[in-house]
Amino acid sequence: MAFSAADAEQWIPRLRRYAIALTGNREAADDLIQDTLERAWRKRALWQPGSDLRAWLFTVMHNVHVNAVRAVRPIESLDEQALDAERALPSSASAESAIVLSELRVALTRLSEEHRQVILLVGLEQMSYGETAAVLEIPIGTVMSRLARGREQLRHLLAREPQPAGLRRVK
């Protein structure tokens, strides 16, 4: 038995969370998911009954994204994407946490997409390293090295704080 449309649709919020975090752009994320759902439905006979549907949908999305990025790259600039990300996302109540999250949002745009993918699949989607490797169709060792390098880059981007003399961050 293949999956039903409703089976796939229950994963839409998860696909969206990842796609928005990856692209930093709501419109691009929704287009990506719509294309993914279309392709997944057309190819539903390829899904192995009993296997993890979420992981399969993420794999389909990854492949659709790879194609889309190849087609679109020359037009879109990262700055505009980053601006979209800032505009699109809710900011939280306290100034302190708004600042931390804002820094993270900007820092994410500075990572390469390869690093961003692994960090998001593991850290946000909480996939196992094996699942992540399957979704991205790379060896598990590559997942580990991208994860380590990406997290370390992110840590440096977030910790970069040359303090001007006489100025201290107000707590």
Partner 1 sequence: MNEERLHAYIDGQANDEERREVEALLAGDPNLAARVQAYRLQNESLHALFDPVLQEPHRLHVPVDQHARWQRWGGMAAALVVGIGCGYLARDWLAEATSMPPIAHVAVYAHAAYVPEVRHPVEVAASEQQHLVAWLSKRLSTPLRAPALDAAGYQLLGGRLLPPTDSSDPAPIAMLMYENAQGRRLSLLVKRDSTNRETAFRFAEEDSTRVFYWIDGPLGYALAGDVSKEELQTVAHLVYRQLNP
Contact footprint for partner 1 (CB under 8 A): 5, 8-9, 12-14, 16-17, 20-21, 30, 33-34, 37-38, 40-41, 75, 78-80, 82-84, 86-87, 89-92, 95-106, 109-110, 119-120, 122-124, 126, 128-129, 144, 147-148, 151, 154-155, 158-159, 161-164, 166-170
Unique residue bearing structure tokens 């194609």: 67
Unique residue bearing structure tokens 């006979």: 45
Nearest-angstrom CA–CA distance, 61 and 141: 22
Triad 28, 107, 151: Cα angle to 5°: 105
At residue 118, φ and ψ (nearest 5 deg) are -65, -45
Which of residues 54 and 105 has its CB atom nearest to partner 1 in the complex?
105
Which of residues 69 and 82 has its CB atom nearest to partner 1 in the complex?
82
Query: Min. distance of Cβ 97 from partner 1 in angstroms?
Result: 7
Query: Min. distance of Cβ 64 from partner 1 in angstroms?
Result: 13
Query: Min. distance of Cβ 41 from partner 1 in angstroms?
Result: 5
| Residue 56: both structure tokens together | 């399969």
Query: Min. distance of Cβ 18 from partner 1 in angstroms?
Result: 8
Nearest-angstrom CA–CA distance, 3 and 159: 45
Which of residues 48 and 94 has its CB atom nearest to partner 1 in the complex?
94
Query: Considering only CA atoms, which of 72, 78, 98 is closest in space to residue 22?
Result: 78
